Structure 1
Amino acid sequence: MTNELVLEAISREFPEAVVDSSTPHGLLTIELKKEEIKKVIHYLKESSYEFIFLTDICGIHYPDDKEKEFGVIYHLHSLINNFRLRLKAFIPKKNAELESITNLYSGANWMERETFDFYGIKFKGHPDMRPILNMEDLGYHPMLKEYRLEDGSRTDKNDAMFGR
């Protein structure tokens, strides 16, 4: 199995879905339209490519790009073919929601909750969309790039000691 073969198969089955593709460090990375991400993942799992293992789901925040402010990244692994794949879907902050894939991979349950917890991205159809690591009454999503890196009220730190 090669990067070209997998990309060509996805492009053939979903001609309107692929937005961009690249191979950083040899890992096939495909950006897909948000409406198509679940269909493509379902196809990859059920096809002869056998992407039966969901390695990870994570979020990302690009505050300067309003159309692609949030991204969700899926890492899939075909254990049979020893092939890894990265899929990305970007969404605006206004409607930060994608379809849940918990019905495809049970391990997605925890990963989607973590992504919601840290970024505020919701997964439509998720069975228990609530924080998993942070307190429920926290009131914000700590991985968003709209908060200061350090607590300005701390007096026990001397920035000169950290090269600043």
Structure 2
Amino acid sequence: MKALDEKRNRDALAALATATGKLELILARSPKLALAPVRTDVLTHDLLAKSDTVKAAIKDVRELLRDGEVQKARQLMQSLASEVEFRTFSIPLETYPAAIKAVTPLIDAGKVEEAKTELRTMLNTLVVTSEAVPLPKLRAEEQIKAAQALAEKANRSKEENDKLAQSIAARATS
């Protein structure tokens, strides 16, 4: 970009050729870097509601969908979320060599501003992937682990026996 700003097109093309070669080597050695993660955000959505409230909301969602009110139904469904969402932001390195190759003819044609715009777009592009894990499942797994550890303990105290019994009763009713 600096070379293009300074109207040194040959230097810019040489730098782009070097970058393309290095990127292709990096991707050949480490294909997992095709999407190079740079940040992960963790968002928690926790629903605290009685089952009757949830059932009523689900009924409302179905009615909204039947009436073709998809956006309203989606908003209501989102309020029912009880999950941990992992959003990963990645640089799409696999797209860089082709993008750089596409910019080269623009520089050759003297369309430097257009080439710089394309390069900025390439450099500012991120891919966002999202994975949601249901909180009830996570909580159940943790309760099972805790109950299993208590169940395997040889000399449990009365409090530990009571806690184990509560864990088993809770799982039986859920």
Q: TM-score, normalised by structure 1?
A: 0.23
Q: Which has the larger radius of gyration?
A: 2
Question: Structure 1 or 2: larger helix share?
Answer: 2
> TM-score, normalised to structure 2's length?
0.22
